[in-house]
Amino acid sequence: MVDEVILSAKDICMDFSSVRVLHNVDVQFEKGMVYGVVGENGAGKSTLMRILSGFLQPTRGDIFIEGHKVQLNPLKAKEYGIILIPQELNLVDSLRVYENVFLGSEVRKGFFLNRSSMIEATRRYMQQLSLRIDPQTYVSELSPAQKQMVEIVKAISKSVKILIMDEPTSSLSQEEISKLFDVIRSMKNSGITVVFISHKLKEVKVVTDSLIILRDGRKVHEGKTKELSERQIAELMIGRKIDEMYPPKLSPSNELILQVKNLTTKDGTVKNANFEVRKGEILGFYGLVGSGRTELMEAIIGVRKVDSGQILLNGKQVKIESPQDAKKLGIVYLPEDRKTAGIILSLQVFMNTTIMSLEKFSKVLLGRRREIETFRNYEKKFDIKTRTPFQLAKTLSGGNQQKVVISKLVNTGAKIFIFDEPTRGVDVNAKHQIYEIMHQMIKEYDATFVVVSSELPEIIGICNRIMVMRSGEITACISGEQISEKNLIYHATGLEEGDSYKG
């Protein structure tokens, strides 16, 4: 394909309340290419994309479509074929798929909607992308991955030329991600330009042709993706060498702090689970989607009903029927989905830190000043970036939100921390900071961790031992030199070398 620049921007600057967040950024996008845009949270990725899709007007700079200077707003951008799919999808759950696809551009026959025409057209778009979604299904009945595909079909129906996708894989399984990548390649082959914003460097390496790296609002690199390793990309993002992504592992004591014996859940998602955790240890849990890892953790903290088995704390059997029971015993849980179960986005950040331990600050009235002082302590200790303690949690980056959740758990005085996907949705530098915080907690608070993670490098890099689960059962305990990707995958799938996993 002959190089054809379809969209470019020159000298883009953006100020918010006299603070410059984009500095003289130049970018260009060619037809039928897949571009990765990466950078730490706050680097300016989403701001730049909102400018290129007409939702923000730059303080300075020019935008060109096929060499012609243009002024963009959201409607104009769509006319030029530029469509942004935000991280929070813009679908109406109460409408059917075809109604979402044609929302605002309905096909009519006289005074009436031509439903059959819209259904058939939606079906054709689905076939074009090798998708199997019934156009008459209500969006509320779709999985996150299917909703993502409906957004893409909406874009195709609008004759998209440049599709901008903001963190499209954040809530998808590995199998769903593979399907999304197939769809992206199909669009590329049709001449559509795709801009893929992500913090997942492995995915960026797999699916993109070219890479734009932003740091502190400046473009620091632009070139072919294959020319850089993941490590080089990460170092360009944060502006320094990553000597060690994972801090050296600490040695736990021999003291058993938590034991789980023959635990089986009433719903059958966990069967006869046995494991033990030593004081100061980071014990990992690895397995494929549906292996029962999260369900086991939910059973331990009393969210999921237990049919049989025992939980022992410091050698004594305990009964845990709710997270409140677990908290009283010094066990707390960082959930997989931070935004729906870990942090209250509409609440101020200092309130999020103290919400699980309000009894410390109140007899009759809340000790508001002491709450703020408590937050300030964690803000400094865990390097939480905020403008003010009164800032709403939803305005923080993913990494800072996660650090607020961790501060909330620490403030309960707990000693056992169950972390489910602790670095999901955070950038590479925030990941490193979270690993350092965990070590800090072990040293300062005598903390012990049980960590569930789907990221093999993470689970290998931080854990003293790793329990592997498959079909609700623990299939292996791996430690020392036996900890490797090959061993973990073997025990997670049960396949011999040379077999192929069908999912």
Q: What pLDDT score does 243 carry?
A: 61
Quote helix, strand, coil % in the chain, to nearest 5.
35, 25, 35
pLDDT at 1: 43
483 burial via Cβ count (<10 Å: 0-12, 13-18, 19+): middle
Answer yes or no: are the C-beta atoms of 35 and 28 closer than 8 Å: no
pLDDT at position 366 is: 60
pLDDT of 501: 36
In the three-class reduction of DSSP (H, G, I as helix; E, B as strand; rest coil), residue 361 is classed as coil
pLDDT computed for residue 503 by the predictor: 35
> Can you name the residues that pair with 13 across neighbouring β-strands?
60
Q: What pLDDT, on a 0 to 100 scale, did the predictor assign at position 469?
A: 96
Give the count of beta carbons closer than 10 Å to the beta carbon of residue 25.
22
Mean pLDDT by 10 residues, the chain (503 residues): 82 88 95 93 88 95 95 93 87 94 89 92 88 92 87 88 89 80 92 92 93 94 94 86 80 96 96 97 93 96 96 96 96 87 88 86 69 92 91 87 95 96 84 94 96 91 96 95 91 62 36
pLDDT at 500: 39
Round to the nearest angstrom and report the end-to-end CA distance of the chain. 36
3-state secondary structure 435-488: HHHHHHHHHHHCCEEEEECCCHHHHHHHCCEEEEEECCEEEEEEEHHHCCHHHH
Q: Within 13 Å, how many C-alpha atoms sit on residue 334's CB side?
A: 27
Residue 29's pLDDT is what?
97
pLDDT at 285: 97
CA distances from 318 to 305, 307, 452, 482 (A): 15, 15, 23, 33
